[in-house]
Structure 1
Amino acid sequence: MKRILFSLMAVAGTIFTVQAQSDQFKDAMKQQIMLIDSGSTWSPAGMQQLANTFERIAEAEKTQWLPYYYAAYCRVNEAFVTENKSKTDEIIDKAVLNIEKAQALKGPDSEISCILSLIASARIGVDPMTRGMKYGPESAELLETAQQQNPENPRVFVLKGQNFLYTPEAFGGSKTKAKEMFDLALKKYAAFKPESDIAPNWGEAYVKELMKQVP
């Protein structure tokens, strides 16, 4: 009887420890995710610091894909906002490493495909004239994959619209098509329910800002 009680207590202790670790992980993630949307973090240094923090969380929680995902998201945003283009590829390479780790844990996923598309777009920014022909189609193809993986993911349509908006008309850009994608994205956001309170849910405020640039 004592052995049975001891075993039950050991199991209960393990469950409590796991739950405590899970709560600690979620609390740490929530805190950092909130900072992503803070205006004070939208700088190369701010995005770098957030990415570093997500990477530390990922190293502590090696079975969780979301810290790697958010680290990649912050790295690619760091690449977009950095003014020193000689550093952009190095930053993007770090984003690639993180999203590959996320993909290894999660498998094929619409949110991951969106980040991969952003990474391709960031590569273009280093030298649009020489890189656009390679990475433009790659970015678009990844968004088609993301849409197939989850047609209800609003971020797919945010990024499609963004591509139309910032691509020259001679290469397929169109403000009219951009607006169509943004309108569709907002409809998707109205119905979208993230898988958890730390799952990807970014982009709605951003697309509303982009809407100001289209007729």
Structure 2
Amino acid sequence: MTDTLTQEAAAYFFPPTDMPSIPVLGEHSRYPVRRIFCVGRNYADHAKEMGVEVDREAPFYFTKSPFSIVESGTTVPYPSGTADYHYEMELVIALGAPARNVAVADAGGAVFGYATGLDMTRRDLQLAAREKQRPWDLGKDFEKSAIIGPITRSDCFAVREQIIQLNLNGARRQEARLSDLVWTVEELISHLSRYYELGPGDLIYTGTPAGVGAVVSGDTIRGEIEGLEPVELAVGDAK
């Protein structure tokens, strides 16, 4: 047994990082995060405020590392490399079953549950990349940029016309209804499943309503969706 353990330990040059995971409401077991897909421009009013139009032919995506996940209630430092750090409040889908080339009518069966989430963004870097038609990685995929609340299982929550909202320092900044989504939960899962073998551990951040804006050190954020646990974040000083 000792030799086996020694061989296993020697298989890595350094200890591997633990798998990120999220609490599930009312349960001891946690949800391990494998991948994070994010949907761009999925509320028409947000696309308008960003000076672009919704692509109604098909949704489009960017990704975040699973290691960008941060649980609700955390204080995160103001990130490096930006002077325009923005909040984006979103509904998050957590998948619990394989989905490959799944039809829209069957896509709901792949859902494990839902959560509230914040897609924190280095907006100045994102817009600079967009202007040059480059990927958004520097603006979107960075440490502690995917904040998420506890997951509520899908048998306890159904997406309808619930209000999605965000308060910054107690003042309302974003408000819409989930029925305003350009691409529905089922449409997103079906479309993504044409290009990826989706499955347990995959999260889909479904896009943000209008009203995004900047935060500074000392700010507090609270995002809510009726029927789900809220997501909260405090912004600390830059490292």
TM over 0.5: no
Q: If each structure's helix is expressed as a fraction of its own residues, which one has the higher value?
A: 1
TM-score w.r.t. structure 1 length?
Answer: 0.24
- Which entry has the higher C-alpha Rg, 1 or 2? 1
TM-score w.r.t. structure 2 length?
Answer: 0.23
Q: If each structure's strand is expressed as a fraction of its own residues, which one has the higher value?
A: 2
